[in-house]
Structure 1
Amino acid sequence: PEDVAGLGRVAELIGLELAEANALWRAQRQQQDAEATLRASRDLQAIIRRERDPDQLLERTTAQLADVFGADGVSIMLANSQGELSVRSSRGLSDVAKLDRKKIGEGISGRVAQTGKPILLSGQVQGGSDPTAS
């Protein structure tokens, strides 16, 4: 009985140590993420300050975003005077996807354009389907 009580106390202490180690790891991870975000922001600002050619600015920004997010596919779409979105710069998109056009509010890109809020996708997205739609 005394050994069982002692083992119980040891288990509690180990649990507390593990919880503290986990909290420390999480805090360090958050700091690393914040530092990476700050570096990416500074890198993008430097690109914007240096680059005068709009097409090159879009290309370099697209490449930087792909690197920062570790993304296989990144695109920047711009709206024309009729409110139709088309790909102006991309990384990892098929030729067919580069030719795609969307109206504001339509699909993932159209929804982002409409709301002004980013959507971070993970995994494979087929045919521009909206994974956030119910």
Structure 2
Amino acid sequence: MESEEPPENEQKDTRPEARPFNPLVNYVYYLMVVAVALAVQWLFGYPAVIALMMYFVIVLVRETRHIIRTYDYSFARKAAVINLIYSLTFFIILSVNGIAIAQGYGAVIWPDFADLTSWSPLFIMGGIFGVANIKRMYGP
């Protein structure tokens, strides 16, 4: 009689119980930061918006590193990395196009999308919103 033994190296990735949370708090935070970014853009121009968004990107990098190091659920780790890449992409677009526009040139990256640079803070904060949801749902 043969006994079936599970492979020794097989790692089981089970989904942890998602904690209930209220995402409306994140929406309010998200809305406030985007409104502040647009006000800063109107008052001081793109260099100030780049500095403001750089703070949030640094926070996002730190939170993503924390999730990768401490969370066992692979979906949470992968989603955090995707949110980081998503936000970094739009931060690069904001930085390059914002500096070019501030110096009197046109947008360098995708100039056909007229308002892409001014909408970039919204997309950057989308990545931060996603990581905040991951932390609240699957955090230890």
TM over 0.5: no
Give the structure-2-normalised TM-score.
0.30
- Structure with bigger helix share is 2
- Structure with bigger strand share is 1
Give the structure-1-normalised TM-score.
0.31
Structure whose CA Rg is larger: 1
